[in-house]
Amino acid sequence: MEPISTRRKALVTGGAGFIGSHLCEALLNDGWEVYALDDLSTGSLDNVAHLRERWDFHLVVDSVLSPTVVNELVYKCDVVYHLAAAVGVRLIVEQPVHTLLTNVRGTEVILEHAHRFGKRLLLASTSEVYGDHRDQTPLPEDARRVYGPTTARRWAYADSKAMDELLALAYHQERGLDCVIVRLFNTVGPRQSGQYGMVIPRFVERALAGEPLEIHGDGTQTRCFCHVADTVRALSALMESPETSAEIYNVGSQQSISILDLAQRVIEMTRSESELAFVPYEEVYGLGIEDMYHRVPATEKIAAAIGWQATLDLDVVLADVIKHQRTAGPAPDPAGNGAPQREWETRSGASAPSTARTASE
């Protein structure tokens, strides 16, 4: 076992979320000491319950919008994985101010402190930054972005994450920040909640309950789904590769499926008698929603950089989600999990230099 004093330390913002909790688990298994920062707005204590008794895992229940907390954590860690974000179509539509503030201001705070203490940072972005492409041609990292009007609230998330990318690249160019940007294409797997509109856990939950599977629109829109284990493997490998600094990489599967075919596949694999229900977008989310027809990642760049490709196909993804939901039941409501307003579990006596400034000053 590596001596405690020499263990590398990683900060994972959004560490109690779906992807974040899997990343924390993988880092711990690789010998890292992990600090997870999460305000539990969309994350859940249940996601990290199996880690809470470990001496090398520290959960900080607070926000990336808190400069004093971020200052302390970034100072004591060697690398920063910035996954914290407002996500999910429902949350974006219902709370656009929260989406923009968390994604842009929160990233600004993280970038400022990573720069201040000279820490390497991985920024998790999204395939939504590509916008509304109408064909199924794989999207390379330098593809043009095709957006709708600002009156369509769906674009708040895409625009906020694009601004995150621009901020990170600006910090690299102007201030020398060591960072790598990852665009995630529909990561799925155990522990993902359907509460905010994520399609696979929502379909599986309804199929297991024998309820109709709601398809928004006509179901001809397609998506590629990547198992969270493959995504986490890409994140850690990119962080460990210094030559990826200031680069952007797609992370996703190239196995495309229409939402209609996905619903039918879920019904078959769960042996459910659920029916399909087609619901117009405006009935689900109100006005201001535009869906994106197709999103397929080009993955040649990441393959050349670290030899990564998705290895777990859609049937494995669905089987794992179905098994998890049958065992654990529906994902908990993060707002009702009884978490304290703030919980700071640390075992390091290191203190960061105090700062009275915010990241924008």
Q: How far is CA 20 from CA 175, 191, 352, in A?
A: 27, 11, 24
Choice among 130, 157, 196, 249 that is catalytic: 157
157 counts as catalytic: yes
Strand partners, 146: 131
Give me the amino acid identity at 130: Y
Q: Write out the DSSP string of 56-79.
A: TEEEEES-TT-HHHHHHHHHH-SE
Q: Write out the DSSP string of 182-216.
A: EEE--EE-TT--STTS-HHHHHHHHHHHT--EEEE
The token duo for 79 is 């690398």
Sign of CA dihedral 88, 124, 144, 221: negative
Contact status, residue 185 vs residue 252, Cβ threshold 8 Å: yes
Residues in the chain: 361
Tell me the three state secondary structure of residue 161. Answer: helix
Active site residues: 157
